[in-house]
Amino acid sequence: MALPKIDLPIYETKLPSTGQVIQYRPFTVKEEKIMLVAQESDDPTQEMIASKQVVNNCLLNVDISELAMFDLEYVFLLLRSRSVDNTISFGIIDPDTEEQISLQVDLNDIKLTIPEGHTKEVKINDDYILMLKYPSIDEFIKIAESDLADPLVNYMVLVSCLDQVVGNDEVHKFKDYTSEEVDQFMENIQGSVIRGIQTFFETMPKLRHEMTYTNKEGVEKTFVIEGMKSFFV
Question: Global pTM?
Answer: 0.76
Residue-averaged pLDDT of the chain:
86
Q: Which residues contact 46 (CB under 8 A, 6 or more apart)?
A: 38
Confidence of residue 227 (pLDDT cuts 50, 70, 90): low
Of the chain, the percentage scoring pLDDT greater than 90 comes to: 32
Confidence of residue 173 (pLDDT cuts 50, 70, 90): very high
The alpha carbons of the chain give a radius of gyration, in whole angstroms, of: 21
CA angle 80, 214, 44 (to 5 degrees): 35
Question: How much is the average pLDDT of 24-39?
Answer: 87
Looking at residue 229, its pLDDT comes to 56
CA distance 57 to 76: 11
Contact assessment for residue 14 and residue 22, using Cβ atoms and an 8 Å cutoff: yes
Contact assessment for residue 186 and residue 158, using Cβ atoms and an 8 Å cutoff: yes
* Structure confidence by residue, pLDDT tens digits, 61-80: 788 877 888 888 888 888 88
